[in-house]
Structure 1
Amino acid sequence: MSFKAIVALVTLAVATYAAPSHTCGAGRVVSNAACCKWFDVLDDLQANLFDGGECGEETHESLRLTFHDAIGFSPKLFREGKFGGGGADGSIMAFAQIETNFHANIGVDEIVETQRPFALKHEVSFGDFIQFAGAVALRRNRHYLRPHGRCWVHPNEVVDLLISHTVAAQDHVDPTIPGTPFDSTPSKFDAQFFVETLLVGILFPGNGSNVGEELSPLGGEFRLQSDAEIARDPRTACEWQSFITDHTSMVSKFERVMSKLAVLGHNPADLIDCSEVIPVPAAVNIAAATLPAGKSRADVQAACAATPFPTLSTAPGPATTIAPVPPS
């Protein structure tokens, strides 16, 4: 599918923007008239998909969908003269009966079917809509995406993408406990996820070990096996640990890697940047990461050889347990 219309990247205003020269409905202005229709999409999403701007299930799933649509792209196959996928092209929505049945895409069928009527209603491409909806979803967590290059260059970027798991919860790995969060603050982009993934696992929150699940350190918390492995892998452990105390770096790296993901498989020069449509959210305060109540430094499996594990305070109170994320 062609991805020629609009790249929905959430950005800060930059000097390269031309002065707005087109007036849309309700007095809103844009640099390119083609962006006006995206205000209608934005208003519809905020009112009818994202519950008036709440950071709920559709918000999390829309963010997840940006990755699952874009990541099916292989430069290696293209170099071999084979088709390597279309990247961020909307194929997961256009060919949902095929792609959502892949095991790696388990659970995304729900958000695909929820989003499709919006894209059809506003007559925008599936690829554009998926990235735009994900960008609007990110707006609920006060994060922005800036356009950069188009190729993964380092294993650390895998870690940077997993910053999205700071707002994640599982539904399908263990279907007996839907809405099980990945950390104790599942509605914020903060560092607690990176601390808790490094704690010794002691239990399963549901019916025991499932494919892709690892022992968790806290009651009611879910841990993906892949998160546990990447957090402890020598190639990625230091990047993982760095986010515990450097929230600014976490934000900027997530912005960069998600911007690359949004145009994967395409040339940004061929696209229209309508990021100015995305509203800028109010500032939020992010608390410093702590060891959960009932845990100590002895529970940490530090894996970064180059840098000592940071000194953290311990949250007060009885041992931490996590409640499921309520469905929206």
Structure 2
Amino acid sequence: GGGADGSMIIFPDVEPNFTPNAGIIDSVEFLTPFLATHNVTAGDLIQLAAAVGITLCPGAPQLQFLAGRPNATAPAPDGLIPEPQQDLTTIFARFADAGNFSPDDLVALLASHSIARSDHIEPGLAAVPFDSTP
């Protein structure tokens, strides 16, 4: 586990409990039944769901999807997802290690959180944007 391998679906009692994954269990529970009814790996299912989700946003491009990811054989270790309070050096180092992300790649990835939301950052408030960018 620890990448685009669907380990959060295969090990739902582990990874959804990590602090950065707060609220992800809704997606895990939604996607899990598809594994039983379709010939797809958990890793491919997660990536396909992300590609479809992005494509459905107004004005978004259609993303190419490539199948063939194997299923995870172990859960990802906690601590792989950078936290907002970490300094840039730590975050850049983590993403360089995770796939040789350039600073521009990392900024684009982090900017995607402008369209994301959280149900677990502000207690009692649902669908709170990760930032206030209009």
Fold shared per TM-score above 0.5? yes
Superposition map of 1:247-262 within 5 A: none
Deviations 1:138-187 (A, max 9, x none): 1112224468xx82232332211023223222210113111123456xxx
2:117 pairs with one of 169, 187, 191: 169
User: Partners of 1:181 and 1:104 in 2: how far apart?
Assistant: 15
The equivalent of 1:90 in structure 2 is: 6
Where 2:43 maps in the other structure, the secondary structure is helix
- How does 1:126-275 map onto structure 2 within 5 Å? 126-141=42-57, 142-145=60-63, 151-182=99-130, 193=133
Q: Aligned partners of 1:131, 1:171: CA distance in 2, in Å?
A: 22
Using the alignment, how far apart are the partners of 1:140 and 1:105 within structure 2? 23
Distance in 2 between residues matched to 1:183 and 1:101, nearest whole Å: 23
Deviation, structure 1 residue 127: 0.7
1:84-142 CA-partner distances (Å, limit 9, x unpaired): x4521111100110111111211101110111112221131111111001111111122
> Take 2:53 and 2:101, find their aligned partners in 1: how far apart are those partners?
26
Paired amino acid for 1:159: V
Corresponding residue for residue 121 of structure 1: 37
Q: Distance in 2 between matches of 1:104 and 1:182?
A: 12
Q: Which amino acid aligns with 1:180?
A: V
The normalised TM-score by structure 1 is 0.28
CA RMSD across the alignment: 2.3
Task: State the secondary structure of the residue aligned to 2:13.
Answer: helix
Q: Structure 1 residues 104, 181: closer, same or farther in 2, change over 3 A?
A: closer
Task: Answer yes or no: is the 8 Å Cα contact 2:5–2:44 preserved in 1.
Answer: yes
User: Aligned pair in 2 of structure 1 residues 97, 163: CA closer, same or farther (>3 Å)?
Assistant: same
Distance 1:108 1:152 in 2: 26
Name the TM-score, length of structure 2 as normaliser: 0.63
Across the two proteins, how many residue pairs are aligned to each other? Answer: 100
Corresponding residue number in structure 2 for 1:111: 27
Which SS does the other structure have where 1:97 is aligned? Answer: coil
Name structure 1 gaps, 5 residues minimum. Answer: 1-84, 185-192, 197-328
Give me the identity figure in percent.
41
Task: Work out whether residues 23 and 118 of structure 2, in 8 Å CA contact, stay in contact via their aligned partners in 1.
Answer: no
Greater per-residue helix proportion: 2
Q: Deviations over 1:276-319 (max 9, x none)?
A: xxxxxxxxxxxxxxxxxxxxxxxxxxxxxxxxxxxxxxxxxxxx
* Alpha-carbon distance in structure 2 between the residues aligned to 1:183 and 1:162: 11
